[in-house]
Amino acid sequence: MMHDRVIRIIDGIEWLRLCRSIDVQARRGFHVEVDIELDLALFRVDGIVRCVTNVCPHKRIALIYDGFVENGTITCPMHAWQFDICTGLNTAGGGGLKTYEVRERDEYVWLVG
Ligand code: FES
C-alpha cells in the first residue's frame, strides 16, 4: 500500500507520520515502506516504539519486520542474523541495522528529523 505522506513541523523539526500507534504491538514487527529509499521495521520494546531499517545487512533482503522478536532482539527470518532492536547492533558483532528516531504522539507513530 502506498504510504500517505503526512508531515508536521514541530519546533522546526520535520515529523513524518508512519502508522497508528496501535499498529505496533509487542513481539512482532510492523512494516512501513515510505518510499524506495526508506523501508522501515517498527517494534515495541518495553512499551516504547523503536525503528530500524527493514533491510538486513547480510544479503540486503527486506524482511526484518517479519523476524522473530525476543528480549529486545530481532532475528532475521532468512539466515538468523540477530540484532538489538534499540541499538541496531548485531549480537554476533557483524554489520548492524540503521536505527531511526521515532515518537508517539496523538495515537500515531512519527519519524523525527
Ligand atoms: S538476509 Fe538476513 S540473515 Fe541473511
Q: What pLDDT sits at residue 40? A: 98
Which atom of ligand 1 sits closest to the CA of residue 80? 3
CB neighbourhood size of 106 (10 A): 8
- Compute, in angstroms, the gap from residue 95 CA to the centroid of ligand 1: 11
pLDDT tens-digit profile of 68-84?
999 999 999 999 999 99
Does the residue 1 lie in any domain? no
Does the residue 27 lie in any domain? yes
Instruction: Report whether 26 contacts 19 (CB < 8 A).
Output: no
Does the residue 2 lie in any domain? no
The binding-site residues of ligand 1, defined as CB within 6 angstroms of any ligand atom, are 56, 58-59, 61, 76, 78-79, 81
Instruction: Report whether 52 contacts 85 (CB < 8 A).
Output: yes
pLDDT tens-digit profile of 12-70?
999 999 999 999 999 999 999 999 899 999 999 999 999 999 999 999 999 999 999 99
SS (HEC) of 16-51: EEEEEHHHCCECCCEEEEEECCEEEEEEEECCEEEE
Exposure on the CB side of residue 49, measured as CA atoms within 13 A:
26
Q: What is the CATH number of the domain that holds 95?
A: 2.102.10.10
Which atom of ligand 1 sits closest to the CA of residue 64? 2
Does the residue 52 lie in any domain? yes
Q: Bridge-partner residues for 109, per DSSP?
A: 19, 104
Q: What pLDDT sits at residue 1? A: 57
What domain range is 23 assigned to? 7-112
What is the total count of domains within the chain?
A: 1
